[in-house]
Chain A
Amino acid sequence: DAGVTQSPTHLIKTRGQHVTLRCSPISGHKSVSWYQQVLGQGPQFIFQYYEKEERGRGNFPDRFSARQFPNYSSELNVNALLLGDSALYLCASSREGDYNEQFFGPGTRLTVL
């Protein structure tokens, strides 16, 4: 089975722009979580979606939003990009409700200039 996939792999944007990152979970997984990992730090939790509903939100500004589609894929949107948004954005999926054992995708490396 294919693992969690994310697109794009790399992205370069300038301050003030908007970005959309995409994630496809493992087949059969209904929960998707998003994390931001700044170089040298551990991942920071942004959102968790289950069955198209937001079930958890980390301490991130409203510039960050996400949604989950009927096929359980997900998008993370970031508006008004700041230099500090440069990071690796990781998506993780897990089976219905069993979000403890998460499977991570390869991530999207976002650089904001």
Chain B
Amino acid sequence: EDKVVQSPLSLVVHEGDTVTLNCSYEVTNFRSLLWYKQEKKAPTFLFMLTSSGIEKKSGRLSSILDKKELFSILNITATQTGDSAVYLCAVEAGRNQFYFGTGTSLTVIP
């Protein structure tokens, strides 16, 4: 059965801390792994990863994929209160099939 597991389920940190969010997966016909940020309703796209070992970076956020060990991490440095959200990991397995994890709820305290 295809599955995507995220950890931790929730995290509370202070502003300025660095956090690492984890996503492991077991899917057939892996095509890509995606990270989203969900604040109120609509998830917003962060990264798409298809190749192992190549870091994607956007400001204080970065992500990397390990296709051998079947996981990805999302790093956020110098966290701010605006980073508080649910971070979702999704895997595209085969054509047109997307599996999401349950998400990691991040709370950044001033």
Contacts and interface: CB of A to CB of B under 8 A. Distances in A.
B100 interface: yes
Given A41-B102, A42-B101, A88 B96 contact: no
A18 interface: no
B42 A90 contact: yes
A42 B90 contact: yes
Given A55-B95, A100-B32, A100-B48, A40 B42 contact: no
Contacts of A58: 97
B44 interface: yes
Contacts of A44: 100
Given A40-B102, A42-B101, A42-B102, A105 B42 contact: yes
A14 B44 CA distance: 31
Contacts of B6: 42
Interface residues of B, number: 24
Contacts of B101: 42
Interface in B1-47: 4, 6, 31-32, 34, 36, 41-45
Contacts of B95: 55-56
Contacts, number: 55
A72 interface: no
Given A48-B96, A55-B95, 17 more contacts: A35-B98, A42-B88, A42-B90, A42-B101, A43-B43, A43-B88, A43-B90, A55-B96, A56-B96, A58-B97, A90-B41, A90-B43, A99-B96, A100-B31, A100-B48, A106-B41, A107-B42
Interface of B: 4, 6, 31-32, 34, 36, 41-45, 48, 88, 90, 92, 95-103
25 contacts: A33-B98, A40-B102, A42-B6, A42-B90, A42-B102, A42-B103, A43-B90, A44-B100, A45-B97, A45-B98, A45-B100, A48-B96, A55-B96, A56-B95, A56-B96, A58-B97, A100-B31, A100-B92, A101-B45, A101-B48, A102-B45, A103-B45, A105-B42, A106-B42, A107-B42
